[in-house]
Structure 1
């Protein structure tokens, strides 16, 4: 482990940590990769007196959030914890994985084999590798948001001795559902979120149809080479899972067109905003590994599950919607083969993605027997009708983990731990301590 000098932001003292960990934890003497983590301590606090809280970001494929000062839940955490914001392997300042670095691995087959080491199990083993270096061997509390909650559940399955408590927000996974079953549950939720959006903003029905119709005839070239089609435009539905996402989508749609000498065109401002929302340049692992986070049957490939299930939900077919009078339905957290055709950050990785989709041999991620005997205090915020994680799947898992306490709420969407300031973390801490 190497540690850089500490530095300050308003109300906080930050310290950079770098660690070398095995690429494959079953081969500890083999190739090593680097992990980066940022320690955050409240100004005026003595870090040596504080217990550690490890934060695991959602994803997969996103580095830890870059807070400025004591934003969101961090303010509450810093009242009593020394917080570690981990850039999970392949993200942020950890050894990067993207279209520029993966060719260093060689062929697409070798790239896919390399990426098989970037799932939940490896992330948790990374955490266990660095924990003794930071805590001296003492257990720590983990806070997992979304996919970070999947990691926390794996932590409880494989290394509960490393935890004093687990706090999960919007991230209790099904212990048994396949990728196909996950998406079968997801498309009806997506449709409900669309209906709610159009009930709130009925003028967006015509706006979305007009944009999709235009893109059907004239796919747009976005800045940076991204190609916007009617299908990729539908991916903007991912906004509908956030607390203010419906409002963001409305404002995006309301001034999409500008008049030009050749007729109405999608404006540069609209296209630039869409590019920022849809590009995978900052998180390619999200596209490459998303379906693998549900893969637990060694004999079954994920085989583009979201695409296969979409075909069974024709209301999401843009062409059929435009041919009739149905509202255009936006999709949510789904990755499709055509993402690797329209996004220049993904296009060079198309063959690698196909190999991952066809891959078998994925191992189980959760141990139901061990979870049923759990002794670690666990609390989970379950967001009612969460776009990204099925509520019934989460509640079924909550019942399967001994001692887990849930807070089911419709006050927040999937981003509640950020949007709710200190309230969500405060509630979870109260639950694991028997104070609520």
Structure 2
């Protein structure tokens, strides 16, 4: 059921919707959870005359972006759509899960069982559960960014009748790769992005090495209790996946140290900014279920895949780097056991995370046969140098989905659908309509 309340921002009318759906769609009469979604319509337009566009945010673990007015791709979407920004289950205002709320589920084992219902399969079934109440049963267009694209490919695999068209930005997953294979492909991209940053800002080679050497001797306590270690510092490489991330990183590194009576120390301003960049307090599900989004073999646990793969890439070993003269390589979307000992938002969830890493019984997320017979118009932006999603994996999947049209571009990084304003969405709509 949808409970609606409307209000305004410049140029748009917003309406809050709340729905109740089963925690486990296989047991529709069992426990129910609440979903929240925000409808956006251009001011002056009659929403009843507009088709729906559902936006699925990246992640996992992030609520839908809180736009103000007609920011980014909304400018283009609102010319012809009634847009629904869905907080995927467990995020934003949709029965949020974190260190404060998960203990309501019981023991760590019960928490892990609960979290098994927060992958793409459940998110898509949520979308199908609420669609009839909003569209009257008509199919809608889905825009999936990053992990939202993974969910969209699952949608095409399991409920294509709900889709009028599918638009994917930076989010074509491998249909078959394990978590370990995903990270084997990721570490070379992390190295490439690190070296590209140092080529742009050569002075950052010594700055990053100096910070790492300082942290190796003196791990730093951040505001709020976060412990900044060398490995945590290296994970600031996650910035390098966005269009302006290299520049952000440069400005961060140049202001790291301040003089003190005891000698140079990492400054409070630097540490506070790092805390904001590294904390999982706003998106703990990202750390908890990240590897499970790649799990499709019922017999195989993910088992901290990124940690295993990193051990096979010694160039990321900071101690080895500092003993020589090489640049310090940075990491990105990899989640490790140490995250659950250094981040106060995750520390209480450490046992739950271990149980999820050891969990078996994961089901397949994609249906290659159904995708090969696809009849839904699909277009995907594939970013040529994407840090987060492997381009080769994406193109292989593009070839496996019947009728999918790709736009391969190096004009944007992973955040192109936001940084590019209306242009990316406009291009994808032209592709699905055979206008380009």
After TM superposition, the score normalised by the length of structure 1 is: 1.00
Aligned-pair CA distance for 1:385: 2.0
CA distance in structure 2 between the aligned counterparts of 1:267 and 1:43, rounded to whole angstroms: 46
CA distance in structure 1 between the aligned counterparts of 2:171 and 2:116, rounded to whole angstroms: 21
Q: Aligned residue pairs: how many?
A: 436
Post-superposition Cα deviations, 1:214-272, rounded to whole Å, max 9, x if no partner, equal 00011111000000000100010000000000000000000100000000010000000
CA distance in structure 2 between the aligned counterparts of 1:3 and 1:365, rounded to whole angstroms: 31
Aligned-pair CA distance for 1:2: 3.6
The equivalent residue for 2:303 is 303
The equivalent residue for 2:383 is 383
1:327 aligns with 2:327: yes
1:111 aligns with 2:111: yes
What aligned pairs does 1:195-214 form with structure 2 within 5 A after superposition? 195-214=195-214
The equivalent residue for 1:338 is 338
Post-superposition Cα deviations, 1:301-341, rounded to whole Å, max 9, x if no partner, equal 00000010000000001111001111100101110000000
Runs of 4+ off more than 6 Å:
none
The equivalent residue for 2:20 is 20
The equivalent residue for 1:70 is 70
CA distance in structure 2 between the aligned counterparts of 1:96 and 1:32, rounded to whole angstroms: 14
CA distance in structure 2 between the aligned counterparts of 1:432 and 1:141, rounded to whole angstroms: 11
Q: Gapped runs of 5+ residues in structure 1?
A: none
The equivalent residue for 1:188 is 188
Aligned-pair CA distance for 1:280: 0.1
CA distance in structure 2 between the aligned counterparts of 1:38 and 1:134, rounded to whole angstroms: 12
Say if 1:61 and 1:283, in contact at 8 Å, map to a contact too: yes
1:121 aligns with 2:121: yes
CA distance in structure 2 between the aligned counterparts of 1:364 and 1:312, rounded to whole angstroms: 27
The equivalent residue for 1:229 is 229
1:253 aligns with 2:253: yes
Say if 1:284 and 1:345, in contact at 8 Å, map to a contact too: yes
Aligned-pair CA distance for 1:397: 0.2
1:397 aligns with 2:397: yes
After TM superposition, the score normalised by the length of structure 2 is: 1.00
Three-state SS of the structure 1 residue aligned to 2:157 is: helix
CA distance in structure 1 between the aligned counterparts of 2:239 and 2:96, rounded to whole angstroms: 26
Aligned-pair CA distance for 1:4: 3.4
Aligned-pair CA distance for 1:3: 2.2
CA distance in structure 2 between the aligned counterparts of 1:116 and 1:334, rounded to whole angstroms: 20
Three-state SS of the structure 2 residue aligned to 1:211 is: helix
Say if 1:3 and 1:15, in contact at 8 Å, map to a contact too: no
The equivalent residue for 1:179 is 179
1:244 aligns with 2:244: yes
CA distance in structure 2 between the aligned counterparts of 1:328 and 1:189, rounded to whole angstroms: 15
1:46 aligns with 2:64: no
Q: Gapped runs of 5+ residues in structure 2?
A: none
Three-state SS of the structure 2 residue aligned to 1:223 is: coil
The CA RMSD over aligned residues, in Å, is 0.4
